[in-house]
Amino acid sequence: MSLGYKMLLRKRGTGLSILAISLLVAIPASMSSVVNYINSQVEILGGLVIPSKTYIIMSKNSTPSESRVNISLEKLRAVSNKIFPQKIIQANLTGFKVRVRGISNMSFLTGIKGRAAENVDEADVGKILVKTLNISTGENITLSAKKALTVRVVGIIESKTQLDAEIVVPLETAWELSGDRSISLILIEDPKDVNKIRSILPDNLELVQAQCIREFVQQTNLQTLSFLNAWSIAVYAAVSAASYTIATRLITESSYELTMLSALGAKKRLIFALILCYTTTVALIGSILGISLGVAGAQIASTLLRWIKNTGISPFLDPLQAFQILLLTLISSVLGCIYPALKPGGRCL
């Protein structure tokens, strides 16, 4: 077996076969290393933005107006002082559907022209809604949801948030309008310990961070990696085809030796194993070379780019990615050589 193996490896075309596999493997290796660098830079840039600490507690997989939150506020107060339970309902205002937000503590509101509503029969209206419905301070408006309620507009909100398109009332008013005393969400600002909040939440509630820069960066990077992985299918298909031709060439060029081995009593299984071992060796050496070549090539190209344009990149490959490339190359190579290796005496073609 080992003699036959050595004999096949010493064939003239082995070097070329290794080169063919290594060049193919260099493609995903170099691409992955460049993508890794880009993704790391995107993550660094994303990390430069410190997201502010506004969190919302609401029902899982829900939206603020559909959410129902049932949790002890005392428990939450131990974690943060700035807790704002809110009730969001849809109401009708002179035939126009408006969103009404009941807030437990109206001091939460900033940027009010006028003042914050203090009583059940007072409301603040967002700037955009004021413009759309021609509402003015001091005006009485009738909101109707489950119940109808007339409130006086005491202030106009300009917060550059969605409050600008809503009517904000004290929580009691929202409860009266909706006819139920539930809470839609709890807004928490600057919590001391986010993990502690998560630990006290029941299973049906979740803690959502309002600003999700890290998630966006991760998603964007994931998209690139997903495409790279899907695109690699084409590379491994080419590796498989290359392996097919390598095995076929080996069988054609070693037909004399293989016939001799058969004549000396070697079984078909042994010849199959020899071809398989040969292809695996070529794929293994080729993939190690290819990974090195790919990463080195990408780094050389980036160095050249740095010299020419003064903007270079530093491609790198994760050990896990290198192992993945190696493994996939070996698998696709073995798959590619099975058909010619199974045909006795290289008569597959």
Partner 1 sequence: MILGFRYLRFKRILALFIVLSLSSMLFFTTALSLMGFYRGFTYYLGEEKGVIVIYDIKSRTPFTGLVPANLGDNLNITRSPEIIVPCILRNESVFLRGVIPQNFLRIDRIKMEEGEILGNDDLNSAIVGKNLAERLHIRTGDKLLVLGVLADRYVELDVKGIFSSSSPMDDEIIAPLHVGQWLRGADYSYVTLIRIKGEVNQSKILEELGIKPSEEKEEKGLSPSVPSSLPLKAGEIGAKEAYDLMRSYMERYGLTRESLLVLSSTVLLLSSISIAVAFRTVVAQHRDEIEVIRSVGASKRILKADILVKLLPWAAAASLTGLLLAVLTLNLIQRAGFLQVLSHSPPISVDPLIFLLNFLFVLLLMLVSLRGDIN
Binding interface with partner 1 (CB under 8 A): 13, 16-17, 19-21, 23-24, 26-27, 41, 45, 48-49, 51-52, 54, 56, 62-66, 88, 96, 99, 128-129, 132, 160-162, 164-166, 208-213, 215-216, 219-220, 223-224, 226-227, 229-231, 233-235, 237-238, 240-242, 244-246, 248-249, 252-253, 309, 311, 349
| 92 vs 270, beta carbon nearer partner 1 | 92
State the helix-helix crossing angle for 213-253 and 14-48, rounded to 10 degrees.
180
Q: What's the token pair of residue 285?
A: 């050496």
Shortest Cβ 53–partner 1 spacing (Å)? 8
Contacts of 345 (CB under 8 A, 6+ apart): 251, 255, 258, 259, 262, 271
- How far CA 324 is from CA of 25, 232, 327, 341, in Å, comes to 11, 11, 5, 25
Short-list 78, 99, 81, CA closest to 90: 99
| 119 vs 229, beta carbon nearer partner 1 | 229
Short-list 193, 199, 204, CA closest to 62: 204
Shortest Cβ 22–partner 1 spacing (Å)? 9
- Residue 277's Cβ-count burial label (10 Å; 0-12, 13-18, 19+) is middle
Shortest Cβ 194–partner 1 spacing (Å)? 15
Q: What's the token pair of residue 117?
A: 């509503």
CA–CA gap between residue 332 and residue 349 (Å, rounded): 21
| 30 vs 173, beta carbon nearer partner 1 | 30
- Note whether 39 and 321 are within 8 A (CB): no
| 62 vs 120, beta carbon nearer partner 1 | 62
| 84 vs 244, beta carbon nearer partner 1 | 244
Shortest Cβ 331–partner 1 spacing (Å)? 16
Shortest Cβ 261–partner 1 spacing (Å)? 19
Shortest Cβ 119–partner 1 spacing (Å)? 26
| 38 vs 201, beta carbon nearer partner 1 | 38
CA–CA gap between residue 94 and residue 89 (Å, rounded): 16
